[in-house]
Chains A and B, each alone.
Chain A
């Protein structure tokens, strides 16, 4: 067997190993019901939940609760199945939070509370912004 063949086999093996490792470490996007069931079953891995902030009829975000020192906050996230869930986040509110279209929370249930370790925001494209808000 030629060296190049051995090398090729090693490379293919490594590539397969990488793919398997990725699949093993990948997280999943779930809804709150699934996340809750996972936590009940003792599965403590971090998962992603995509949702939207709860808003009233005028489009104002409701259910936002800032700690007195602005160091942590909680909010209500509505997932794709329309389940509302209070989410706790142990960091200051990220900028642009209330303007975000979609919020992705990464974390898991601790009892009945969902505690996020990381938040990703999808902010509206400037082109979808519907009003002029500065300088009037």
Chain B
């Protein structure tokens, strides 16, 4: 059955949200042109009602789409292509924003909420600011409008409420128009991670917040209140900087935990496209502060604030138009919206440039020469460096755009982004990092007191000396030798030490002023963390056996990876490392289940416990319980020991996804104070491949008798008649018996239960039982009632194995601590500015 109502309702809400945003924009605009106070107020009231209706409709779209996903209405394309029945509820939230439409919706939603806050807090600015808001909302809503203009054959927007049969041209819909697939095609397994539940909302809140300073700036230019807009805009800009920064960081952290390239930042165009606006946003915060204190840098602030918003639109265009298709690993696919996105980008670019140009002459600017000993000079230098830092990233990231433009004029350009992105960007960004650290380390001294040459020397002497001592200690202890890293370390230490000094004196005066110093300390710590964890990341899973893993593999692979056989300890990075077997993850309980302890059923998502399932001394399930699992995920239990003490148990994951092909490995990280040990599977055993078993060995044993299988001690415990066999229908005259054999492995006792079936007194069937961990297969070959003996067939194979790669990431915690402090600093500064705004 197709649930038409909810989709139609959702689509109606989309249309309402589009129309109401236009109405709100018009009414707010109209209110500005009217001088009669009462009529003016009437227009404002109308506009407010329209904006509230808009917000309500946006919430309606949100709810409708969520109902479709949550209720598994796979007749809808969005639910079908992003979700599935086995997806846990919290990841249904992630499928909401896996698609472009959902992420647009998220952006619209945040912006609507911010708009409501503005309406209630900014009486003086409401009308002009909200014109900008409502216009942006209209553009965004048009992206998910999904209507076709009849005569022009023009599609506007891509609706998330489109039915599967309209989205796909599958022959089945010709035969059965009401066909509804039983299950969806599921969420990309890499996105099934808690960071992917919170990273997109944070990032899009950051996106949404950049509109606030932009709208105030445009309103200021429009209303000719050239300077007044900065005061209300500044705290919002700080909030935007914090949230956008946090969103970017969460993305990096997700990559560190989930992907296996061994880092948190890949300099992919999609990452760059949001890093650049953030840098410019930070620069604009600095120039706005300069203006508030000294009435200079107003024009620069206007340019920067406009640039941030335009860059956000540009980044949206880059990631969603498909233009990066040949340059990025993870841009969205083209939804046919590139034209609309381009209009969106060009509209706001042109409007703001024209408006700024018309007003340019009237904007007050200070003609006085800035002194080298003024804080403005240093902050201005810092902001300039940040802009150049962003410029260096956006120029190569835009290469596909240049090619398109050249193509538009009939030429061909075959320029491609640098082949080794990480090396290319790092070598430039490192020096910008050094410059930022040196400038802000020094600039802070001008912040709170007027200083001349001699006083500066006095002020700087102590921090410079302390920095040099700390720096010398660090590079000798951590053995930093690469010249560029040595300089980065010095700059990083300097910014921390000098800002600590400033922090000390500021806290005495007024702790509310400490935001700046704290943020800069955070930046310094992050720089050091990035330098150590990326620059001194070291492969520790070195193959020290003197034997190649496989001659078919590259020398590099043979050198950097460790082959672990089950229950055979090896040495790695000072640990005894041992692979203990493959595990499933329980769906409804926290814990891992040994694959040997469960029996598969015909439903891949369910297994039956063969024995009590114990995890970390806790009984998770009793024998015979049915357990829900995720069949595509296998965890490899790996124990790290020092002597007899277990230091860590790691569970790196491998996802085998039939539909997608190949395997995806996600690391598990053993976190330490000074370093992380980052381990991922580089090659799992291929169970599909032909297994080579040894020749069958036959033993005759009585119940309770011991025998050896593959050098393990085994006992035939008992043989019982059974009435049911999974996957086989038993007739009345069938006789089935099952043997229960215990095998003592290195760490555990395993059970094998082969089955012997006599059908119609003549036919014989045998179902072998395999103990994966031990690499043995036992078959009940025959029953000898005359001697009470049983014939068992024994086969052995190579033991289970896994190949892993492990890396040490030294001092990566400095990065996380640094970014934490940065966020605290932002918050303190923001609270202070909100209070005074």
Residues of A within 8 A of B (CB): 2-4, 7, 11, 14-15, 18-19, 21-22, 25-30, 45-48, 50, 67-72, 90, 92-99, 102, 104, 106, 117-118, 120-127, 129-136
Contacts of A50 in B (CB 8 A): 326
Q: Which residues of B contact A68 (CB under 8 A)?
A: 552, 686, 689
Instruction: Please count the residue pairs between chain A and chain B whose beta carbons lie under 8 angstroms apart in the complex.
Output: 161
For the complex formed, measure the closest distance between the CB of B605 and the CB atoms of chain A, giving whole angstroms. 14
A30 to B412, CA, bound (A): 12
Does B626 touch A at the CB level, under 8 Å?
no
Bound Cα distance from A50 to B77, whole angstroms: 30
Q: Are B335 and A127 in contact (CB under 8 A)?
A: yes
Complex: how many Å from CA A127 to CA B664?
Answer: 25
Interface majority SS (helix, strand, loop, mixed), chain B: loop
Q: Name the B residues within 8 Å of A133 (CB-CB).
A: 185, 659
Separation of A130 and B680 alpha carbons in the complex (Å): 36
- A11 is contacted by which of B74, B388, B553 (Cβ under 8 Å)? B388
Q: A29-B416, A47-B416, A71-B553 are in contact. Are A93 and B327 (CB under 8 A)?
A: no
In the assembled complex, the CB of B473 is this many whole angstroms from the nearest CB of chain A, namely 34
- Chain A residues with CB under 8 A of B440: none
Q: Which of B370, B417, B418 contacts A3 (CB 8 A)?
A: B370
Q: Are B552 and A67 in contact (CB under 8 A)?
A: yes
Q: A126 contacts which of B172, B183, B333, B661 (Cβ < 8 Å)?
A: B333
Q: Cβ of B169: which chain A residues have Cβ within 8 Å of it? A: 130
Residues of A within 8 Å of B396, CB to CB, are 22, 25-26
Residues of B in contact with A (beta carbons under 8 Å apart): 74, 77, 80-81, 84, 99, 158, 164, 167-170, 172, 181-186, 325-329, 333-336, 369-370, 372, 377, 380-381, 384, 388, 391-392, 395-396, 399, 403, 414-420, 424, 428, 550, 552-554, 556-557, 657, 659-664, 682-683, 686, 689
Q: Which 10 A-B pairs have the closest CB atoms?
A: A46-B419, A135-B183, A135-B182, A95-B660, A135-B181, A125-B333, A27-B416, A48-B416, A93-B662, A29-B414
User: How close is B452's CB to chain A, nearest CB, in angstroms?
Assistant: 17
Q: Look across to chain B and name the residue whose beta carbon is closest to the beta carbon of A48.
A: B416
CA A122 to CA B328, docked complex, whole Å: 9
Distance between Cα atoms of A94 and B655 in the complex (Å): 12
- Contact assessment for A70 and B663 in the assembled complex, using a CB-CB cutoff below 8 Å: yes
User: Nearest-CB distance from A23 to chain B (Å)?
Assistant: 8
List, in ascending order, chain A residues with CB within 8 A of B372's CB.
3
Give complex CA distance A94, B330 in Å. 13
The smallest beta-carbon distance between B563 and chain A, in angstroms, is 11
With A25-B418, A94-B662 known, 13 other A-B pairs at CB within 8 A are: A3-B377, A4-B370, A19-B395, A26-B416, A68-B689, A69-B683, A90-B557, A95-B663, A132-B80, A134-B84, A134-B185, A135-B74, A136-B181
Q: A47-B416, A68-B552 are in contact. Are A18 and B388 (CB under 8 A)?
A: yes
For B183, B415, B419, B420, which residue has the most chain A Cβ atoms within 10 angstroms?
B419
User: A70 contacts B333, CB within 8 Å?
Assistant: no
Please name the residue on chain B nearest to A2 by beta carbon.
B369
User: Which residue on A lies nearest to B169, using beta carbons?
Assistant: A130
Cβ–Cβ contact A27 & B417, under 8 A: yes
- CA of A45 to CA of B424, assembled, Å: 14
